[in-house]
Structure 1
Amino acid sequence: MSSTRMAGGIELTPLDPAGYRHMPWKNGGGVTIDIAVSMLPGFAPGGWEGIVWRFSRTAIVTAGAFSDLSGFDRQLALVAGQGLVLETAVGEIDVRQPFRPVRFSGETAIVSRLEAGPVEVVNLIGDRSRVSIELCCVPGGATHTCPSGVHIIYAAAASCELSINDSAREVAAGHAVRIDAGERFAVVNRLGTAIVASIIPVARTSA
């Protein structure tokens, strides 16, 4: 899709659901829908090798084990349904309420528990040696400031009416927009709940 350049070194690229990729979970227990992904050079989207970061949506229809994603940081938020609990060796991670992100490491052994039937979640994962990640749910009437980096703004449940650095932008339900930003910028959400997935490169030092 065509991109739009804005002042301040900001580039916007719309992401249409027709271009999302369906991908099996690493442990084969389900299917995730990739909304946006970044791969290392030489690796093609659709595999687990070479992922730098990935933002996706997943239906959890039966309780079960999460995939081992050692080396990655993970953040997750409930976007449909209710009653999701993640069981770990050191206690529960409460994801019962929609649009409240939780954070955990990919090494954490997790088994999901469904207290009120199937749910859907969004997942943001990042190779911690290369990027830091942040998942934020911005309700209508709120403002969110994003640092320089890559940001995916996703309308998970209903259309969102946004103002990005004072430029109006509507994101239809199920659609997303990718923002490549060379500096900080502000997002005002006027309607709906906008999910903002932020990916910031980690400074790498040579040996």
Structure 2
Amino acid sequence: MKLLRASDYKRMPWKNGGGETVEIAVSPDGAGLADFDWRVSMATVATDGPFSVFPGIDRTLSILDGVGMALFIEGRAPERLTQESEPLPFRADALSSATLIDGTITDLNVMTRRGRFIHSVQRVSINGNKVVELKGGTSLVLCHRGDVGIDGTVLGAGDCLLVSNEGAGRRSISGKAQLFFIAIEAI
């Protein structure tokens, strides 16, 4: 298990230059925007506009802060994405754009290289004690709000716990927080 502190995340410009992204974790270590196997990041979106195109990548988007956005994805009906919405998976190489509903938002992006990795994202609220099962592959637990302890490791808001194959299994969680569970598996 590896604790990733919010204060240590890497800040960088969006691929299309339209804003800034905060990289939480990437594989392989040090990979750039063109050669990652998987990537987890957050972005602040302050204006309407197009999404960066990532050929061969699958993406899941979740709203962390702000009211939300209307998302227009090539070949699909428009989607309204808010903090209450389920995380939304889509192809990152489909032309996509967003219109903000009511001001700036922060989103969570999980991206994996199609044909090599798959991923899932789940939003979970914790209030008390809970036991969860982390599967093989790579699991990330992002603490969005609140504080939580996972087998004695304390995560504050914005912190993330990275768990690889050898750390898979049942984990004890306690505290009051909103978490995102991200599972990434090689195929």
TM-score, normalised on structure 1? Answer: 0.80
Q: Residue 104 in 1 paired to residue 90 in 2?
A: yes
- Paired AA for residue 13 in structure 1: K
Equivalent residues, number: 183
Alpha-carbon distance, 1:99 to partner: 6.1
Give yes or no for contact 1:144–1:188 (8 Å, CA) kept in 2: yes
Alpha-carbon distance, 1:100 to partner: 2.5
Listed as ranges, the matches of 1:125-136 within 5 Å are: 125-136=111-122
5+ residue gaps, structure 2, are none
Query: More displaced, 86-95 or 26-35?
Result: 86-95
3-state SS of paired residue (1:67): coil
Alignment CA distance shift 1:59-1:143 (3 Å): farther
Give yes or no for contact 1:155–1:172 (8 Å, CA) kept in 2: yes
- For the pair shown, the structure with the greater C-alpha radius of gyration is 1
Q: Residue 51 in 1 paired to residue 51 in 2?
A: no
- Paired AA for residue 77 in structure 1: S
What is aligned with 1:205?
Answer: none
* Among candidates 10, 13, 24, match of residue 35 of structure 1: 24
Alpha-carbon distance, 1:18 to partner: 3.0
Alpha-carbon distance, 1:17 to partner: 2.2
What is aligned with 1:158?
Answer: 146
3-state SS of paired residue (1:62): coil
What is aligned with 1:88?
Answer: 73
* Among candidates 160, 168, 171, match of residue 155 of structure 2: 171
* Among candidates 98, 105, 116, match of residue 102 of structure 2: 116
Q: Greater share of strand residues, 1 or 2?
A: 2
Alpha-carbon distance, 1:94 to partner: 2.3
Kindly provide the CA deviation profile for residues 105-141 of structure 1, in whole angstroms up to 9, marking residues without a partner as x: 1122111011111100110000012111111111115
